């Protein structure tokens, strides 16, 4: 490669799809069983830097109310897409002025050729400033974690009864033999093995199973969020689902309660963006108690004397109004 060819990009044979002239230098890579990356080193004229960067990291296409991401890929390895890029002067010891802050300098002062290093890895979105590590734009993502709430309740209908001993646990064989001989193990620490204790107002802990759901919708167009989607979220907040929810594995009616949502708008350095898309994260709590063949939800409350009961106030209104959650997923 001669100095004349390096300094005359018009003579370079290779062009990117966007028309950026370049000279290929080399590839290097690193792979393991599941991970992999490739580095591409090439030369470009410094005047094409922004064009090349916009080609490597193109803005997503808008399709309806979502954005569809685009990526720069290697033909031989389409699973790997451009995720990072860096540049430096190609001629050692000679600086560059790619930002054109010294327009009056002698033409020989700065290097006009940049050495680019482009990293390709399996996901384009991992370092995408508009998605913040999300997966593909427009795809609804669902995650959950299960927890529970303990209720300490006191009821007049409670009683303590003896349990059948398990001979497989320590001390269980002796207890089982005593029971076979007609004696019952003491149930209250008094040593009395003949009576069943029925204390007045006994207490117990009851767990209420809860699932914390997070619905994430990345890359919603800002104008759609502003004019439409924010109003859907406000309408659902503090209300329960009126129908089964197939998006949450057929969650039963009145078991899902929308408790809040996060909004984040991310701007990018890339050209052509009039308003940054929005990432939405919606938090919901599922309350699901199986009680005598019924699925109890957020409008069911535990009464110490009557157990789980469907509550109404003013004789007819539920604690949480019901509404159609399908509008959350219609994007």
- The two three-digit tokens of residue 186, written as one number: 């003491």
- The two three-digit tokens of residue 229, written as one number: 């989607």
Which residue has tokens 């050729």?
113
How much is the average pLDDT of 277-303? Answer: 93
Q: Is the pLDDT of residue 188 over 70?
A: no
Q: What is the pLDDT of residue 306?
A: 82
Q: Is 45 helix (H, G, I), strand (E, B) or coil?
A: strand
Q: What is the pLDDT of residue 273?
A: 67
Q: How far apart are CA 296 and CA 250, in angstroms?
A: 15
Q: Phi and psi at residue 49, in whole multiples of 5°?
A: -60, -50
User: Shortest CA distance to 287 belongs to which of 214, 220, 207, 222?
Assistant: 207
Which sequence spans correspond to the domains of the chain?
3-121, 141-150+206-328
User: Confidence band (pLDDT; 50, 70, 90) for 307?
Assistant: confident
Q: How far apart are CA 328 and CA 217, in angstroms?
A: 10
What does the pLDDT look like over 29-38, one tens digit per residue? 999 998 899 9
How much is the average pLDDT of 284-308? Answer: 92
Q: What is the pLDDT of residue 172?
A: 66
| Dihedral angle over CA of 21, 23, 26, 30, nearest 10 | -10
- For residue 52, count other CB atoms closer than 10 A to its CB: 23
- The two three-digit tokens of residue 208, written as one number: 């209420």
Q: In this structure, are residues 190 and 108 in contact, taking their beta carbons and an 8 Å threshold? A: no
User: Confidence band (pLDDT; 50, 70, 90) for 177?
Assistant: low
Task: Residue count of the chain, please give it.
Answer: 331
> Global pTM?
0.68
Residue 218 CB burial class (10 angstroms; 0-12, 13-18, ≥19): buried
Q: What is the pLDDT of residue 330?
A: 85
The helices-and-strands tally (H runs, E runs) of the chain is 5, 18
Q: Is 230 helix (H, G, I), strand (E, B) or coil?
A: helix
Q: What is the pLDDT of residue 61?
A: 83
């Amino acid at each position: 490669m001669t100095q004349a060819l390096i300094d005359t990009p018009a003579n370079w044979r290779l062009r990117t799809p966007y028309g950026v002239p370049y000279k290929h230098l080399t590839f290097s890579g690193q792979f393991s069983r599941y991970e992999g990356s490739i580095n591409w080193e090439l030369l470009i004229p410094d005047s094409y830097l922004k064009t090349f960067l916009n080609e490597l990291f193109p803005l997503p296409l808008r399709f309806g109310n979502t954005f569809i991401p685009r990526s720069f890929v290697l033909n031989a390895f389409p699973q790997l897409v451009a995720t990072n890029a860096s540049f430096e002067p190609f001629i050692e010891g000679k600086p560059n002025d790619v930002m054109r802050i010294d327009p009056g300098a002698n033409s020989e002062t700065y290097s006009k050729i940049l050495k680019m290093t482009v990293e390709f890895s399996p996901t384009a979105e991992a370092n995408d400033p508009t998605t913040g590590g999300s997966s593909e734009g427009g795809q609804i993502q669902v995650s959950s974690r299960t927890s529970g709430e303990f209720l300490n309740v006191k009821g007049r209908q409670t009683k303590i009864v003896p349990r059948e001993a398990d001979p497989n646990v320590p001390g269980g064989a002796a207890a089982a033999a005593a029971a076979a001989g007609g004696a019952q193990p003491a149930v209250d620490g008094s040593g009395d093995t003949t009576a069943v204790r029925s204390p007045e107002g006994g207490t117990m802990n009851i767990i209420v199973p809860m699932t914390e759901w997070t619905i994430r919708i990345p890359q919603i167009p800002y104008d759609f969020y502003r004019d439409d989607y924010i109003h859907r979220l406000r309408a659902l907040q503090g209300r329960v689902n009126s129908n089964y929810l197939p998006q949450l594995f057929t969650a039963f009616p009145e078991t899902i309660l929308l408790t809040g949502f996060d909004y984040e708008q991310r701007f990018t350095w890339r050209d052509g963006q009039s308003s940054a898309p929005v990432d939405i994260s919606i938090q919901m709590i599922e309350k699901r108690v199986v009680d005598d063949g019924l699925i109890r939800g957020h409008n069911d409350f535990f009464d110490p004397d009557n157990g789980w009961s469907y509550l109404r106030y003013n004789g007819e209104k539920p604690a949480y109004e019901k509404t159609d959650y399908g509008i959350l997923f219609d994007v």
